[in-house]
Structures are given as C-alpha cells and as structure tokens.
Amino acid sequence: MRFPNLYTIRGTSYRDTYSWFKSVDTMRSYKPKFLVSCHGPFLSGKETIEKRLAIYRDAIQYIHDYAIRGANLGKTPDELVEDFEYPAFFKENYDLQEKYGKVSWSIRNVYNGYLGFFDGRAVNLEPLSNKERSKRILQLYR
C-alpha cells in the first residue's frame, strides 16, 4: 500500500474521501486473513492486515477532517496545503509514503468536493487568461 490516490491528476470524477475511509472500515470488519490490493504486495495475517488497514484508514480520515476543519475556518485550498503539518504517523509509516497519491492533491480534492473550485477570493472567480496576465505583467516593465 502507498498513500492513496484520493485525487487523480488525469481528471476522473470526484473521489469521496469520506466514503473511502468508511469502505476501509468495512474491509476491516471482515477480519481478513489475506488481502490483495491493486498497488503493492498482498498481505497476510489478521493482525498485520488490521494494523496496516487502520493506519491507511486513519490517514484518509485525517486528510478529510483537516480539509473540512480548515474550510470551515475560511481557509483557501492553498492555505490548507501550506499550513498542513505531517503528523508523526505520516512521516514514519511505510504505507503512507507519497509514491502513488499526494497529500496536497488530496486536501485540494476534499475542498473541491465539498465546496467547488471557488476559494473565497473574488479575483479567482474570473481569473485572467495566461495571455492577458502576461500582457499586463509586461506593461509593468515598460
């Protein structure tokens, strides 16, 4: 397992992180002896699987809850990503390495899934095109 790809950069539909961590709870409730995932080696042993699924699930809920708390405080997606501090369990856990999904993408995905693209800044409702922005920057230097 790796940190989950809670948001895909290729542009698939919204991945509901709340449903995702609840589905991991369902998997845990079966108390499996073996677990074959799509990414990574298979796992065996009830204790090993429970431990690894629990940390995986907790990481997903942590990102979900962090993004919701921050949005409720009026933070923008950029501020949420900038202010995020990795808890020790993120830093130390092999299964949470950002080799598949990224925490920053996931935070933005949760925000967008609940609140849409608008980040609370009026200037971002109708942003300038790259061409127009470049023209205006060039005019500053003339």
Phi-psi region of 14 (alpha: psi -120 to 50; beta: other; left: phi over 0): beta
Q: Rounded to two decimals, what is the model's pTM?
A: 0.80
- Pair 1, 52: CB distance under 8 Å: yes
* pLDDT tens column, 44-100: 999 999 998 999 899 999 999 999 999 999 999 999 999 999 888 888 888 888 887
Q: What confidence score (pLDDT) does residue 1 get?
A: 55
Q: Rounded CA gap, 124 and 104, in Å?
A: 19
Q: Which of 116, 64, 62 is nearest to 88 (CA)?
A: 62
Report the sign of the C-alpha dihedral through residues 96, 40, 6, 77, in that order. Answer: positive
DSSP structural state of residue 9: T
Q: Is the model's pLDDT at 121 over the cut of 90? A: no
pLDDT band at 38 (very low <50, low <70, confident <90, very high): confident
Q: Is the pLDDT of residue 140 over 80?
A: yes
Coil, strand or helix at 25 = helix
Q: Where are the domains of the chain?
A: 17-140
- For position 105, what pLDDT does the model report? 92
